[in-house]
Amino acid sequence: MKKLVIGYLYNGRGLGEDEILFKRITKRNKIDSVLINTSLGYNEDELKEKINKCDIIYNSSGDDFVIEIEKTIEELGKKIIEKSKSFYYIEDKWMFYLKCKEHKIPTPKTILLAQDITYAKKDLKDFAQWPVIIKKVNGCMGEYVEKADNIKEAEKIIKKLWRKNNDRDPLIAQEFIRSPSYRVTLIEKKIVQTAIKESIGWKATGVYSKKIKRFKVDKELKKLIEKLTKFVDIQICGIDFLKKDKKWYALEVNSAPGLDFFESEREKMIEKVINLLKKLAKRN
């Protein structure tokens, strides 16, 4: 009987703890793994040679460049989790905001900023939410996210973000809600982990968090998650929530979520991912 082969996209200079655990767990389950480091860059033939060995591929990287790798893999006819659509549509922070509004899910007030600085400043004056969060529509780990207390600071931040990326990528302005970030990790639409990301500063992403602990999902949040999963078509994802006046607000969704919030649960989380991939590969 042919062995199942799972491909694994990651980026970095070498194997991290997740990659080492992935290799160990797949081997223990008599599954072959093919690790593909997207940082190295592959031409089409090299990539084709690697993915042709795989029955299914999991993308563990949140790097923007990986979108092109994903689309290439899909074009070559291989099943990948998650689909590239999840990166450039559902994970897009502006699209997520619009979807939340459509489904009547509370979310921070948000506007899409003009790509001309004069009109962007006018947008912010009309928005009148100070302080305000300015961020790219894509990006992870709190990158390209800044807080402005006034229009002068906002102008500097907008120019800085455009300059930093050597392009005028779309930016949004968002109501600032002072709250820890409440992460709910879902696998196959089931809650598998919760984590409160707290920080001394205003950023409360996993990278900037000083303290992480679990929290209980109450009835209100459970209902929101059920509504979100109707349009968040991502098998393995992390959804971030904020809390204001005891009310939950959906902030954003992340495919390829971090599985290392609690070191004692890391191996168990990766095993859950592998079990899902086995199931999806058989279905495919």
The pLDDT tens digits of the residues spanning 132-182 come to: 999 999 876 667 899 999 999 999 999 999 887 666 789 999 999 999 999
Task: Tally the residues of the chain.
Answer: 284
pLDDT digits over 24-70, tens only? 999 999 999 999 998 887 778 888 999 999 999 999 987 777 888 89
Q: Which helix (H) or strand (E) holds 246?
A: none
Tokens of 174: 């968002």
The position carrying tokens 């040679």 is 49
The pTM of the full predicted model, rounded to 2 decimals, is 0.92
In this predicted model, what pLDDT tens digit does every residue of 111-144 receive, in sequence order?
Answer: 999 999 999 999 999 999 999 999 999 876 667 8
**Residue holding tokens 């939340």?**
100
| Average confidence (pLDDT) over 254-280 | 95
Q: Which class for 2: exposed (0-12), middle (13-18), buried (19 or more C-beta within 10 A)? A: exposed
- For 211-224, the pLDDT digits (tens) are 789 999 999 999 99
- Domain architecture of the chain: domains with CATH: 5-82 (3.40.50.20), 89-94+178-255 (3.30.470.20), 109-175 (3.30.1490.20)
Question: Which candidate, 140, 160, 138, places its Cα nearest to that of 148?
Answer: 160
Q: How far apart are CA 119 and CA 108, in angstroms?
A: 22
Beta bridge partners of 33: 6
**Other C-beta atoms within 10 Å of 185: how many?**
22
* Terminal C-alpha separation, the chain: 17
